[in-house]
Structure 1
Amino acid sequence: MAVRQIVKFPDPRLRQPAAPVTAFDATLAALAADLLDTMRAAPGIGITAPHVGVLARVVVLELSPEEGPRIYINPEIVWSSPETIRHAEGSVSMPGAIEEVERQARVRVRYQDLAGAFQEEEAEGLRAVCHQHECDQLDGIFWLQRLSRLKRERVVRKYEKAQRSDAGR
């Protein structure tokens, strides 16, 4: 397993849709393991293959050490609740940038496991937010696109300023 380099905002690859996974093999398992290592090193609670420059529909979530990591291949949201919640979001591709985003409170996700078997999962709260956030990323929708123009511009300015000051150190 290895920590891979994370693609940083505003890299255009973060706005490209990822292709469905068709080969459920050792290469896929290695990618999932690398994503887990990379996410933990970032640190983060969710990561997609596009975050490391691989345009494949692979997601790894680890919301707590007690629950452990979960891997989702070709995930899609098949149902979402009419109720919404607001939650602070960010990205491993834009470290330090955080803003509240409104999302559905509950979702049902259909996905495949590492062996290719189809699964479904219902999620609420933070897990539902993460599923929506990462499925957006797989569809080429970077989280900033869910913000108003004013909030998006403010977050980008703050992030760019932080990057310049980090580069000066």
Structure 2
Amino acid sequence: MADEPDIDEREDDEDDGLDPEAVARRQAAMERIVRMGDPVLRTVARPVEGFDGELREEVRWMGQLMHDALGVGLAAPQVGISHRLFVYRVEQDSPIVAVINPELEWTGDETEIGDEGCLSIPGIQVEVERPVHVRVGGLDEHGEVVHIEAAGLEARVIQHEMDHLDGVLILDRTSKDQRKAAMRALRDREAGQALA
């Protein structure tokens, strides 16, 4: 999966090819995203009950934030909202999909290890093993039933975002060695920022 964009987060190197306005939008978007360490990321999100204009605005805002942050998925807990809701878009030109109160209906037996990043843990990538095929049921922002059968990157994105709704991060799904290396990198980065 090395040629595919990271889950949640596209590579930081992409900033190099962006115009200054896009870089500024990305930086502003990243400031709105909750970082690892915030308790909302470790909390099981509450089901969405009201399907109204406020919810549709939340979905629109999250989609725009995900787009500006150069992400491929974003879950409500990542913006500090304890809702069982996520948005994603695997292809840059595809419409943004919102899935509310998702339920994993089926996973295939075949699994694949792939690199994943996360907007809530910027700059960190770890290997995560996930089923290659999934079927998810839920609702869209209008309260209409949706069923999504996905494979490959789309299946990985969906599973990653559903993990966020249950308080699970990619560091919980990787090997002990990769988790240690990621935590060391995060500590080193924080120490470097403190000295700057």
Q: Report the TM-score when normalising by structure 2.
A: 0.80
Distance 2:62 2:105 in 1: 24
Given that residues 60 and 71 in structure 1 are in contact (C-alpha distance below 8 angstroms), is that contact kept between their aligned partners in structure 2?
A: yes
Change (3 A) 1:155 1:74: same
Given that residues 126 and 170 in structure 2 are in contact (C-alpha distance below 8 angstroms), is that contact kept between their aligned partners in structure 1?
A: no
Normalized per residue, the structure richer in helix is 2
The one of 135, 145, 149 aligned to 2:172: 145
The one of 74, 83, 86 aligned to 1:56: 83
Given that residues 87 and 102 in structure 1 are in contact (C-alpha distance below 8 angstroms), is that contact kept between their aligned partners in structure 2?
A: yes
Question: What is the root-mean-square deviation in Å for CA atoms of aligned residues?
Answer: 1.6
Look up the SS of the partner of 1:96 in the other structure.
Answer: strand
Listed as ranges, the matches of 1:5-154 within 5 Å are: 5-154=32-181
Unaligned runs of 5+ in 2: 1-27
Q: Which moved more, 1:66-75 or 1:126-135?
A: 66-75
Deviation at 1:57, TM superposition (A): 0.7
Look up the SS of the partner of 1:119 in the other structure.
Answer: strand
Given that residues 56 and 142 in structure 2 are in contact (C-alpha distance below 8 angstroms), is that contact kept between their aligned partners in structure 1?
A: no
Q: Which 4+ runs in 1 deviate beyond 2 A?
A: 162-169
Q: Percent identity?
A: 37
AA aligned to 1:42 is: A
Deviation at 1:165, TM superposition (A): 2.8
Deviation at 1:156, TM superposition (A): 1.5
Deviation at 1:168, TM superposition (A): 4.5
Given that residues 44 and 166 in structure 2 are in contact (C-alpha distance below 8 angstroms), is that contact kept between their aligned partners in structure 1?
A: yes
Deviations 1:2-48 (A, max 9, x none): 95711111212111000110100011111111111221222211000
Deviation at 1:167, TM superposition (A): 5.1
Distance 1:10 1:87 in 2: 24
Q: Report the TM-score when normalising by structure 1.
A: 0.93
Unaligned runs of 5+ in 1: none
Deviation at 1:166, TM superposition (A): 4.2
Distance 1:26 1:118 in 2: 18
Deviations 1:40-91 (A, max 9, x none): 2222110000001000011010112222211111112110001001111111
Given that residues 137 and 143 in structure 1 are in contact (C-alpha distance below 8 angstroms), is that contact kept between their aligned partners in structure 2?
A: no
